Amino acid sequence: MRTDTAKPVRLKDYRVPDYLIGKADLDVKLHPAATRVGARLAIRPNPQGRPNAALVLDGDGLAAKRLALDGQVLDLQNTAAWNGFITPDALTLNSPPQRPFILETDTEIDPSANTQLMGLYRSGSAYCTQCEAEGFRRITYFLDRPDVLSIYTVRLEAEIGEGAWYVLPAEPGDAFCAEPERLWPAVLRRQGGELAFVATYPDDPSLN
């Protein structure tokens, strides 16, 4: 657990970000103790930022597994070769391209050991996320500040393998159900057994 005291952020010290992230594609392979997060970031220099500035992405307790710039894999053990460095709490490129480019990272995190309730953590058998105000940096390296707005796509893997979802065969009439809110209970009931019993659950399971 980190014990350092957070530094205050003052409005008088504000400076526009030197880089912007237009799109962030996340591929998340869930695991209770070793979740793998792949991030593909579309980054471009900010015309209002400082020219030729270093790119510093925020992190917090991340284990870096892979790094690539415009498709070229960078050696995590030889950071001098790409003029940067990477730690659990920051990823720095001292000479990033001064044009739009793609940065890919693979990181590993432990949701079960995350007791800060920030980022991705486990509560019982459930996966939970809390990204504000600075929780997203506990998931992947990012410009974790409120004035960097991005379009996100997210793919989650492993929930089906853990039995968190029921995947059942459809019938032709399901696509034309006149009462969509009743479709899922009807699908469960026709399976019989335990699934038919699940069909009786109320929308709020605590009322069961």
pLDDT digits (tens, 9 = 90+) for 99-123: 999 999 999 999 999 999 899 998 8
Exposed, middle or buried by CB within 10 Å (0-12, 13-18, 19+), for 185?
Answer: middle
Q: How confident is the model over 171-203, as pLDDT tens digits? A: 888 888 888 778 888 888 888 887 788 777 776
At residue 2, does pLDDT exceed 70? no
Instruction: Tell me: do 64 and 127 sit in the same domain.
Output: yes
- pLDDT top residue among 71 and 206: 71
**What's residue 164's pLDDT?**
64
**What's residue 175's pLDDT?**
82
At residue 19, does pLDDT exceed 70? yes
- What element of type H or E holds 119? strand 119-123
Q: Which of 157, 180, 196 is the last residue of a domain?
A: 157
Instruction: Tell me: do 31 and 118 sit in the same domain.
Output: yes
Exposed, middle or buried by CB within 10 Å (0-12, 13-18, 19+), for 45?
Answer: buried
Band (pLDDT 50/70/90 cuts) for residue 163 is low
The predicted model scores a pTM of 0.75
| 76/87 Cα distance (integer angstroms) | 10
Count of CA atoms in the C-beta half-sphere (13 A) of 169: 4
**What's residue 158's pLDDT?**
76
The count of domains in the chain is: 2
CATH number at residue 32: 2.60.40.1730
The two tokens of residue 100 are 């739009």
Please report, as a single letter, which amino acid is at residue 155: R
